[in-house]
Amino acid sequence: QSQLHPNCSALGPNPRNDSNSSTWCSWAPFDGDNYKELFGALDNAFLVAYAIGMFISGIFGERLPLRYYLSGGMVLSGVFTTLFGLGYFWDIHVLWYFIVMQVCNGLVQTTGWPSVVTCVGNWFGKGKRGLIMGVWNSHTSVGNILGSLIAGVWVSSAWGLSFIVPGIVIAAMGVICFFFLVEYPEDVGCSPPLHHVRVTTSEKDPEGITSNEGPLSSSDHSKEPAEEPEAISFIGALRIPGVVEFSLCLLFAKLVSYTFLYWLPLYIVNVAHFGAKEAGDLSTLFDVGGILGGIVAGRISDYAGGRATTCCVMLVVAAPMLFLYNHIGQNGIGTSIAMLILCGALVNGPYALITTAVSADLGTHESLKGNSKALSTVTAIIDGTGSVGAALGPLLAGLISPTGWNNVFYMLIAADVLACLV
How many CB atoms are closer than 10 A to CB 65?
Answer: 10
The packing angle between helices 138-154 and 276-304, to 10°, is: 170
Task: Give a yes or no: residue 225 inside a domain.
Answer: no
How many CB atoms are closer than 10 A to CB 282?
Answer: 19
pLDDT at 245: 92
Total domain count for the chain?
1
Helix/strand/coil for 346: helix
Amino acid present at 129: R
Task: Give a yes or no: residue 227 inside a domain.
Answer: no
Task: Give a yes or no: residue 320 inside a domain.
Answer: yes
The per-type count for the chain, helices as H runs and strands as E runs, is 15, 0
pLDDT at 369: 62
Q: Are 84 and 101 in contact (CB under 8 A)?
A: yes
Task: Give a yes or no: residue 178 inside a domain.
Answer: yes
Task: Give a yes or no: residue 208 inside a domain.
Answer: no
**Nearest residue to 312 via CA among 369, 354, 275, 374:** 354
Task: Give a yes or no: residue 8 inside a domain.
Answer: no
What is the domain range of residue 73?
34-186+233-421
Q: What is the CA radius of gyration of the chain?
A: 22
SS3 content of the chain, % helix, strand, coil (to 5): 70, 0, 30
Q: Are 131 and 302 in contact (CB under 8 A)?
A: yes
- List, for the chain, all residue ranges whose pLDDT scores fall below the cut of 70: 1-26, 195-231, 367-373
pLDDT at 43: 84
CATH number, domain containing residue 274: 1.20.1250.20
Task: Give a yes or no: residue 216 inside a domain.
Answer: no
What torsion do the CA atoms of 379, 382, 384, 390 make, to the nearest 10 degrees? -130
Instruction: Tell me the C-alpha distance between 30 and 42, whole Å.
Output: 11
Amino acid present at 77: S
Instruction: Tell me the C-alpha distance between 301 and 134, whole Å.
Output: 10
Task: Give a yes or no: residue 47 inside a domain.
Answer: yes
